[in-house]
Amino acid sequence: MRRVRWSIEAIEQVDAVFAYVAADSKRNAEGLLERIDESARLLGEFATGRPSYAPGVYEKPVRGSPYILVYQLDVTPLGEAVTLLRVVHGARNWRPSAPRT
């Protein structure tokens, strides 16, 4: 099983998602947090996301939510790891724009 590591940006995004949802319903926010955590944990077992905007970057939808985990696979001294880069809402245009020519 791979280790799952969280980038600071991903942690900050999860905190922001929790605060946003909790303003309306703390119970819903806690459930969403559990689904995000479960999806991240499962990536450690089976990294089954789809390719994303850049080579080596993948996306995994969070079951039962509009959120997506953006991650990459890394080789560390302790073995292979999944690094969560971002947690984004699927409706947001979060991908970098293509360079203009």
Would you give per-residue pLDDT tens digits along the chain (101 residues)? Answer: 889 999 999 999 999 999 999 999 999 999 999 999 999 999 999 878 888 888 889 999 999 999 999 999 988 787 889 999 999 998 776 665 544 43
The contacts of residue 95 (CB under 8 Å, 6+ apart) are 52, 53
pTM score: 0.86
Q: How far apart are CA 15 and CA 29, in angstroms?
A: 10
